[in-house]
Amino acid sequence: MALLCSSSTVILPSSSVKPSGSDRRSPFLGLSLTAISNPSVRVGINGNAKRGLQVKCEAEQATTSLVPANQRWMFDEEEANGPDIWNTTWYPKASDHVNTDKPWFVVDATDKILGRLASTIANHIRGKNLASYTPSVDMGAFVIVVNAEKVAVSGKKRNQKLYRRHSGRPGGMTVETFDQLQQRIPERIIEHAVRGMLPKGRLGRALFNHLKVYKGPEHPHEAQKPLDLPIRDKRIQLQK
Amino acid sequence: MTRIKRGYIARRRRTKLRLFASSFRGAHSRLTRTMTQQRIRALVSAHRDRGKRKRDFRRLWITRINAVIHETGVFYSYNRFIHNLYKKQLLLNRKILAQIALLNRSCLYTISNEIKK
């Protein structure tokens, strides 16, 4: 098989083609002579007839650019000569998702509806509010939830919503209601809700570690300077 | 009938197979019979995913555009944005829109403001 690059040396067996474009006889090996008649190609016919077709590419291709000449005014100089950033979909490099550079957010869960709060949190942790969202990479932010024991639910869910877990052994199912769990371990309610909304898998488990839930109004992450989580849902606050 | 050995025919075929499966994990790059099976599975996956690739990328572009458009206005979303695009007969495709959303955010805001009018 023959490869042609725009500036290359093509060595053909001596029994065939004459040099560039001088005649238009039948193509050799399926190569049309118009391809070889490119002025930058040098055809060398030498005594290595038995070695067959060889192609050597020269290192002169750095000056060709993907941008045609009449559109170069639209680009900055370093973009015009560099790789094509517009036609290849952006994928994050390792430096784009370093954990130390990710933003931190704080939410106060007092009197917020559980599911709506968990949904917003999960969106921010996964990174779905960013233009740089990538499903295979952790691009999201860290979220801190405080006052977890004051989270609210509507209707009769406070006494009727059941949390089940199973130890694996027969007869090992434990059932608790919402308020029993809130007395015992209030952080688990929000963690359970958010975990159900994050993807399940290795990445999902890693994302879950970006959620920090605390019982009282204090949290130990002041050094990360967390911002307030922007909430767009209007019905997230419990109507009294 | 005289005895005929098959010679090197099978070995030549299996060397090509070995080259194909040379980057597979564990026994899938060492044992001939597993290599044939895994090669078939690899080619099937590649064939199927060439079609899926087009779908997957379009999904990714739509999600990225949606993320940026939601921040633009209160009740504004991807579907309304695309509807406005079509009404104004703007032919930008989702790939370029997603790249603009990432690389040149202000340009996308200009586009969406122009379309909303």
Through-space distance between the first and last CA atoms of chain B, rounded to whole angstroms: 89
Q: What average pLDDT does range A187-205 have in this prediction? A: 96
Pairing relationship of beta strands A227-228 and A104-108 according to DSSP bridges = parallel
pLDDT in tens, A40-55: 444 445 544 555 665 5
Partners of residue A87 in chain B, C-beta under 8 Å: 95
Q: Which of A129, A131, A135 sits opposite B101 (nearest CB)?
A: A131
Residue of A nearest to B105 (CA): A131
Distance CA A84, CA A78 (A): 11
Partners of residue A199 in chain B, C-beta under 8 Å: none
Look at residue B47 and tell me whether its pLDDT is greater than 90.
Answer: yes
Residues of chain B contacting A, Cβ within 8 Å = 57, 60-61, 63-64, 67-68, 70-71, 74, 95-96, 98-99, 101-103, 105
The Cα diameter of chain A in Å comes to 95
Partners of residue B102 in chain A, C-beta under 8 Å: 90, 131-132
Provide the pLDDT for residue A51. 58
The Cα diameter of chain B in Å comes to 89
* Whole-prediction pTM: 0.76
Provide the pLDDT for residue A6. 41
Say yes or no: ipTM exceeds 0.90: no
Q: Which of B57, B63, B74 sits opposite A133 (nearest CB)?
A: B63
Q: Are B74 and A234 in contact (CB under 8 A)?
A: no
Q: What average pLDDT does range A214-228 have in this prediction? A: 94
Q: Are A133 and A207 in contact (CB under 8 A)?
A: no
Q: Which long-range contacts (CB under 8 A, 24 or more apart) does B1-6 make?
A: none
